[in-house]
Amino acid sequence: MATPTQKPSSPRQQLGQIVHLGLSSFLNTHHKEFSSKFQILRPSESKFPLNQFFTAEAQNTQAAICSGGFKLSADILRHLPSLRLIVATTSGLNNIDLSECRKRGISVINAGNIYSADVADLAVGMVIDLMRKISAGNRFVKTGLWPKQGDYLLGSKLGGKQVGIVGLGSIGVEVAKRLEAFGCKISYYSRKKKPCVSYTFYSNIHELASVSDILVICCALTEQTRHLINREVLLTLGKEGLIVNIARGAIIDEKELVRCLLQREIAGAGLDVFEHEPRVPQELFGLDNVVLSPHFAVYTEGASRHLEEHLIGNLEAFFSNRPLLSPVLDDE
């Protein structure tokens, strides 16, 4: 039976071989920088099934780039027996079997805090958009309704609002700092109280929702946080409450969110992420109290350059037998 064949390596000196797992868009953007330093295996461009490609081409591959939410399961890891390093292009690692990586002594690097400021900017932008009805007002003007219907609906003042942040990690802290500057009062829900901040801590998500005008979701997706924001939490947030999610779609029970929005049981939502993306509930498309974006909170030129440097720096350290720059999970 025919097997995949590896393209001849470049004549220039390369540090080592890596396999790219996931959407090709990341490497297409950064191909020159990575290919000048590493020999890259790209199974997404092969006509062969993934496991067959691994068996033929990647048995000695020690490092992988994981992008686009590629599901790196225990089964796939078993087909990469020499793997010792995974560098992920995301901050969230819910798509990687970290337990299996630990068993196999595989170090895992994520994007760290690279995206935090950019994601926080979008979160605050969505809050302002919802409060001041910017996107809705834009549609009102562009569809010619202003001359016909007169003045648009009143927006809401942001200063003085109670903002509940779900997950006070690096992104949550950046969101809090920005909204605090607008005069908002900050509270948060997290796994444990953060001694370095003065914001009010709630160990119960329902209690946070009950005192918040706005909930901003910033936590990681885990088995504990999946559908953390359920119907009860949304009803507790109430008819005047807004919710913004720039974390992971499945943290909110999306069906219940749609139902609450359609029934006006909450005031509105800003969503950069979705439970089954890129599929988005069509019921949301016609709602003026909903602002949507295509999971692009991290997509800025500055973050892209910083990520490239971060990943290449760790790969260079690995292949040169130097300590990794920022291990999330290592073999110790």
Would you say 245 and 252 are in contact if contact means Cβ atoms under 8 Å apart? yes
User: Which of 231, 295, 308, 316 is labelled catalytic?
Assistant: 295
Catalytic choice (33, 100, 207, 277): 277
Q: Going by C-beta distance under 8 Å and a sequence separation of 6 or more, which residues neighbour residue 23?
A: 44, 67, 68, 70
Torsion sign, CA atoms 270, 275, 276, 281: negative
| Of the candidates 137, 267, 259, the residue with the CA atom closest to the CA atom of residue 215 | 267
Q: Does the annotation count 248 as an active-site position?
A: yes
- Tell me how many helices (H) and strands (E) the chain has: 12, 12
The side-by-side arrangement of strands in the sheet containing 63-66 is: 38-41, 16-21, 63-66, 85-88, 107-109
Residue 132 is among the residues annotated as catalytic for this protein: no
- Give yes or no for a contact between 122 and 293, defined as CB atoms under 8 angstroms apart: yes
The HSE-up count of residue 262 (CA atoms within 13 Å, CB side) is 12
Selected catalytic residue, list 20, 30, 57, 248: 248
**Distance separating alpha carbons of residues 101 and 104, to the nearest angstrom:** 5
Residue whose entry in the numeric block shows the structure tokens 């196999």 = 104
Tell me, yes or no, if 20 is annotated catalytic: no
Q: Which residues are catalytic?
A: 248, 277, 295
